[in-house]
């Protein structure tokens, strides 16, 4: 399979951290990279102009939600996600599998795929591995994800093994459909390693996915409710199994601690709804740890949200004003808070890249986490 990934710099201290880039149909993406999540083809409360201003080169959209509404055929007619939304840079779409399993109470999994009821109206739906590829083809995604099964935290070994086995089978079928329908569009299919919290299953799943030689590999089934120490242990174990020459993607992480841990383990891509979701609910990232803007001590605090941040929210607004917006349930609060949290993570990842390139990642990691973890307001 033609390579889409180039490694630029490796951690000079001997660790796994690295910088590089992924070449995709709508432009080159520098790695490591945090990808904002736009579930319904929009990052909540953040315009595409703001995303461009911040410098994001790739965002996510959700196959499950777009499959249900407005429907992938409508989006195909609009010219795919890029024509539908006006976003000119890259889209990664997940397969919809996680949402099917987490949002749908009534579902049935078979070798063929998954039957479920829409969370909108209860209508019966079916999604096969081939369907997931077809939907993402209609969306004209730059990165497709295979349909997989994510076993929950606490699953027994049989459930985890069954999920990994079906994920393997579905990965093969996804690749066959992707190659058969690829045409002129150069979207890239990533496989997903599962295995839950059983190391032997992780080894077997990684071997199965690597055998398919897909353009990229994701680590699934982490950050699903397990303690951070368990996450770190299984991330370390799984990342060590993956090939050097392909982009590595950990799904569903979006806090500074998790991002830095992922980079230290050689992960190149990560995403999460967390930064914008918690922003809407009053939490702001700062270099000194997250703050809850509703706290009374910010009522007359005229400092910027994060005095070390150069984003336009921190340049133009005080904590007191932002608290006022939050307390009054103003729409502008969600817009400004979401912008700031994304700016904070984008800047963090940029600093991480610089630290790897100049050989100071280990010291940057220690100093950042020492300050960030010192207090929470």
Looking at the structure of the chain, the number of domains it has is 2
Q: Where among 272, 296, 316 does a domain terminate?
A: 272
Decide if 24 contacts 140 (C-beta within 8 A).
no
Asked whether residue 303 falls in the same domain as residue 325, the answer is: yes
Asked whether residue 130 falls in the same domain as residue 246, the answer is: yes
Q: Crossing angle of helices 331-357/256-264, nearest 10°?
A: 20
Phi and psi at residue 69, to the nearest 5°: -150, 125
Catalytic pick from 11, 94, 208, 268?
A: 94
268 part of a folded domain: yes
146 part of a folded domain: yes
φ/ψ bin of 122: left (φ > 0), alpha (ψ from -120 to 50), beta (otherwise): left
277 part of a folded domain: no
Asked whether residue 200 falls in the same domain as residue 62, the answer is: yes
Catalytic pick from 11, 271, 306, 347?
A: 271
Asked whether residue 254 falls in the same domain as residue 158, the answer is: yes
- Beta-ladder partners of 91: 59
How far is it, in rounded angstroms, from Cα 222 to Cα 64?
A: 20
Range of the domain at 359: 282-372
User: Which of 190-221 are b and which e, b meaning 16 or more Cβ less than 10 Å from the residue's Cβ?
Assistant: bbbbbbbbbeebbbbbbebbbebebbbbbbbb
Q: Where among 272, 304, 331 does a domain terminate?
A: 272
10 part of a folded domain: yes
Structure-token pair, residue 154: 């606490």
156 classed as catalytic: no
For CA atoms 17, 18, 24, 26, give the dihedral sign.
positive
- Give the pairing of strands 124-127 and 114-117: antiparallel
Contacting residues for 132 by C-beta, under 8 A, at least 6 apart: 63, 95, 96, 97, 144, 145, 146, 147, 174
Phi and psi at residue 279, to the nearest 5°: -60, -45
213 classed as catalytic: no
3-state SS class at 251: coil
| H or E stretch covering 248 | strand 248-250
Decide if 22 contacts 28 (C-beta within 8 A).
yes
Asked whether residue 209 falls in the same domain as residue 325, the answer is: no
Q: How far apart are the first and last CA of the chain?
A: 49
pLDDT tens-place values along the chain, 377 residues long = 789 999 999 999 899 999 999 999 999 999 999 999 999 999 999 999 999 999 999 999 999 999 999 999 999 999 999 999 999 999 999 987 787 777 656 788 999 999 988 888 989 999 999 999 999 999 999 999 999 999 999 999 999 999 999 999 999 999 999 999 987 777 999 999 999 999 999 999 999 999 999 999 999 999 999 999 999 999 999 999 999 999 999 999 999 999 999 999 999 999 999 999 999 999 999 999 999 999 999 999 999 999 999 999 999 999 999 999 999 999 999 999 999 999 999 999 999 999 999 999 999 999 999 999 986 55
261 burial type by CB count under 10 A (0-12 exposed, 13-18 middle, 19+ buried) = buried
163 part of a folded domain: yes
Instruction: Write the DSSP assignment of 275-304 as a string of letters.
Output: HHHHHHTTEE--TT--EETTSGGGTT--S-
For CA atoms 31, 34, 38, 43, give the dihedral sign.
negative
Q: What is the CA radius of gyration of the chain?
A: 20
70 burial type by CB count under 10 A (0-12 exposed, 13-18 middle, 19+ buried) = middle
Q: Where among 272, 294, 325 does a domain terminate?
A: 272
How far is it, in rounded angstroms, from Cα 340 to Cα 361?
A: 24
């Amino acid at each position: 399979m033609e390579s889409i990934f180039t490694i630029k710099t490796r951690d000079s201290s001997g660790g796994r951290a690295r910088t590089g880039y992924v070449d995709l149909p709508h432009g080159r993406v520098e790695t490591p990279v945090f990808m904002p999540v736009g579930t319904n083809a929009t990052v909540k409360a953040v315009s595409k102009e703001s995303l461009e201003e911040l410098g994001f080169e790739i965002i996510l959209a959700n196959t499950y939600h777009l499959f249900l509404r407005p429907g992938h055929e409508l989006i195909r007619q609009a010219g795919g996600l890029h024509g539908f939304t006006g976003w000119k840079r890259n889209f990664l779409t997940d397969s919809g599998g996680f949402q099917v399993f987490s949002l749908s109470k009534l579902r049935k999994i078979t070798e063929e795929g998954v039957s479920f009821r829409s969370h909108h109206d209860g209508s019966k739906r079916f999604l096969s591995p081939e369907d997931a590829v077809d939907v993402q083809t209609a969306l004209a995604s730059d990165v497709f994800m295979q349909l997989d099964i994510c076993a929950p935290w606490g699953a027994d070994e049989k459930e985890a093994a069954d999920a990994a086995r079906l994920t393997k089978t579905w990965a093969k079928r996804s690749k066959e459909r992707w190659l058969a329908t690829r045409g002129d569009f150069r979207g890239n299919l990533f496989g997903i390693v599962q295995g839950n919290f059983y190391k032997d299953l992780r080894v077997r799943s990684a071997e199965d996915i690597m055998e398919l030689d897909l353009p990229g590999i994701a680590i699934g089934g982490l950050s699903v409710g397990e303690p951070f120490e368990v996450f770190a242990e299984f991330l370390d174990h799984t990342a060590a199994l993956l090939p050097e020459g392909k982009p590595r993607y950990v799904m569903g992480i979006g806090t500074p601690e998790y991002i830095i841990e992922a980079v230290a383990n050689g992960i190149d891509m990560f995403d999460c709804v967390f930064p914008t979701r918690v922003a809407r609910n009053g939490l702001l990232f700062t270099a000194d740890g997250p703050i809850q803007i509703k706290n009374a001590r910010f009522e007359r605090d005229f400092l910027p949200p994060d005095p070390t941040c150069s984003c336009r929210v921190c340049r133009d607004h005080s904590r007191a004003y932002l608290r006022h917006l939050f307390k009054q349930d103003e729409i502008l609060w969600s817009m400004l808070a979401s912008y700031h949290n994304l700016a904070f993570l984008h800047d963090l990842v940029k600093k991480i890249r610089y630290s790897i390139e100049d050989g100071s990642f280990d010291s940057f990691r220690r100093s950042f986490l020492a300050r960030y973890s010192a207090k929470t307001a």
